[in-house]
Amino acid sequence: MSSVLVVHGGAWAIPEELARPSVEGVKAAARAGSSVLRSGGSALDAVEAAVRAMEDNTVFNAGHGATLNADGKVELDAIIMDGKTLASGAVSSVKNIANPVSLARAVMEKTSHVMLTDTGANLFAESIGIRTVPADELVSDFEKKEWEKHKNYVTGVIEDFSFQRDHDTVGAVALDSSGNVACATSTGGIRNKMVGRVGDSPVIGCGGYADNSLGAVSCTGHGESILKVTLARLILSHVEQGKSIADASKLALKYMSDRVQGGGGAVVVSPSGQWAATFTTQRMAWAAVERDELWYGLEQNERLKDQL
C-alpha cells in the first residue's frame, strides 16, 4: 500500500507577508513527515514529525509561533491519535513546552488518560524529562506586534473570524504502508483568548480523529464552532455514509458555516489513500505527499506540484 501524508498550516486570511513562508513551511513539514513514512515509519511517527516541524517554525500558531492570551502568555493545546487502536493523547493550556504534540503522545503512551491540562500537563512533562523552554522563546516578533494591536478579546475574535486575520492551528494526517492512519493537531489558540480557554484542537472528534476503518482528520478554524459540530467526527460520519473524502469535508464545513457561522478547514486521508485539503476561509496553506509527488496550495481550488 502506498503511504500518504497531508498537512495544514491553519485556515485563515493569510496576509501577503506570510503567504510564501506559510507555503514553504507546510512543504517542509510534509517532507519531514513523508521521510518518516518512506523509511518505514508509522503513520503516528509521521504526523508527529510533520507537526513538530510546524511547531518549530515561527510562521505558524503552534509551539514557537503561538499566539498570546489576554494576559500576554502562551497556552498551548495538542492532540495525537492512532487509527489502529483508537488510542489518543492530548494536552491543553500547557506552558513552556516547545513541542506539545510530543507531550500529547507521551500522555497517550505513558498514562492511562487521554488528556492532561495546565499545571498537571506541565508536571507530567517534567516527570518524564521533556525539556521546557523560556516563555519568550515561544513568541515571535510578529505575534508581539499583533497582540499589542488587539488586546481586547471581543475585538480580536471579531477580526479573527469575521475577517479571519489571526493565524491558526497546524495539523497532519497520514496513511502508512501497513494501512494504519493517524492524526495530530497543535495550536496556540485565539489571540487575546481568556486565560484557560481551550478550543477544539485537543478534543477528540473535534480537532482531530483517526480510525483505520474510516480515515484520519485534522481540523483548523474557529475552535468554538468546530467544538459545536464535532467537525472531525462529522466529516468521518459522512464518509461512513458513503461520501468521498472531498465531499465529506465540504458537506461538514458547509454545515458548520450554515449552522454556527464558523469558518475553517480540514485535511483528511482515507484507508484507501484518498486525501483532501478543504477550507471555507480565504486561504489555507497545505501540502501533501503521495507516490513521491509533493502537492500544495494556498488559495481556493489551487493544486500545485513541486519536487519532493
Check if 117 is active-site: no
In angstroms, the CA 153 to CA 296 distance is 33
C-alpha cell at 306: 513541486
In angstroms, the CA 224 to CA 256 distance is 11
In angstroms, the CA 19 to CA 4 distance is 24
What is the DSSP pairing of strand 88-94 with strand 115-117?
parallel
C-alpha cell at 184: 495530530
C-beta of residue 174 within 8 angstroms of C-beta of residue 4 = yes
Q: Is 179 exposed, middle or buried (0-12, 13-18, 19+ CB in 10 A)?
A: middle
C-beta of residue 59 within 8 angstroms of C-beta of residue 65 = yes
Among the listed residues 58, 67, 169, 280, the single catalytic one is 169
What is the DSSP pairing of strand 4-12 with strand 283-290?
antiparallel
Cα→Cα distances 251→44, 166, 167, 225, 238, Å: 27, 24, 24, 15, 8
Whose cell is 506539545? That residue is 100
Residues recorded for the chain: 308
Q: Would you please indicate which residues are annotated as catalytic (active-site) residues?
A: 169
